[in-house]
Chain A
């Protein structure tokens, strides 16, 4: 059984560019949630995908979009990057949608926007 893996671990982008972050869910899980964690803050919920459909969304603008694939891996896309998008992006996989089962977190992708 493999854990949740995210790629890349670090990246630097220029303001206005687009970025794609990737997450491989834990074996047997069909749900992926994405979070943004700014320095000194708790994780902020971006959205969740359950069986390839968006199952919930936090207070993030439409330039934050996602995708879940048939193997339940997921992507987070951010368009028109802003300096404030600099943060640690976490994904978490779980089984069954919602938030009522244990979520297993990845190590995160550190995004720096310059």
Chain B
């Protein structure tokens, strides 16, 4: 069965420090992977997707098929990055579905 694992429920870093939010997936096919973010009192929104290979708000994520990982990284964390981050995997196995991880709460300290 397909699965997305985010091993850290909470990640706390100081402002200016590098941050890495981990995401591992299990899927035998070609994965479509996303990172979604939810800021306080806001809706869940797309941060980035692997297919577009873009950097959003300084965040990047690289798909590593060998390690089945899609970790989210930012070299210098900002206080406004504090939010809930979800990794998600979209698959089509005779029907479409999107599987979300449990999420990691990032707290950036001043």
Contact = CB atoms under 8 A, between A and B. Distances in A.
Interface in B37-96: 43-46, 49, 51, 86, 88, 90, 92, 95-96
B97 A48 contact: yes
Interface stretch (A8-16, A51-59, A62-70, A78-86): A51-59
Contacts of A40: 102
Given A98-B90, A98-B92, A105 B97 contact: no
Contact of B32 (A43, A99, A104, A107): A99
Given A42-B86, A100-B51, A100-B90, A105 B96 contact: no
A83 to B, nearest CB: 21
B52 to A, nearest CB: 10
The interface size bin for chain B is 20 to 34
B100 A98 contact: no
Contacts of B49: 102
A105 B100 contact: no
B51 A56 contact: no
Interface centre among A42, A45, A102, A107 (most CB of B within 10 A): A42
B46 A56 contact: no
A107 B88 CA distance: 19
A43 B86 CA distance: 9
Contacts of A100: 32, 51, 90
Given A35-B100, A42-B102, 12 more contacts: A40-B102, A42-B4, A42-B88, A43-B100, A45-B98, A55-B95, A55-B96, A58-B97, A90-B44, A98-B96, A102-B46, A103-B46
24 contacts: A33-B98, A35-B100, A42-B4, A42-B6, A42-B102, A42-B103, A43-B86, A44-B100, A45-B98, A45-B99, A48-B96, A55-B96, A56-B97, A57-B95, A58-B97, A98-B92, A98-B96, A100-B32, A102-B46, A102-B49, A103-B46, A105-B43, A105-B45, A107-B43
Interface of A: 33, 35, 40-45, 48, 55-58, 90, 92, 97-100, 102-107
Which 4 residue pairs of A and B lie closest in terms of their CB atoms, listed nearest first? A99-B90, A56-B96, A42-B100, A56-B95
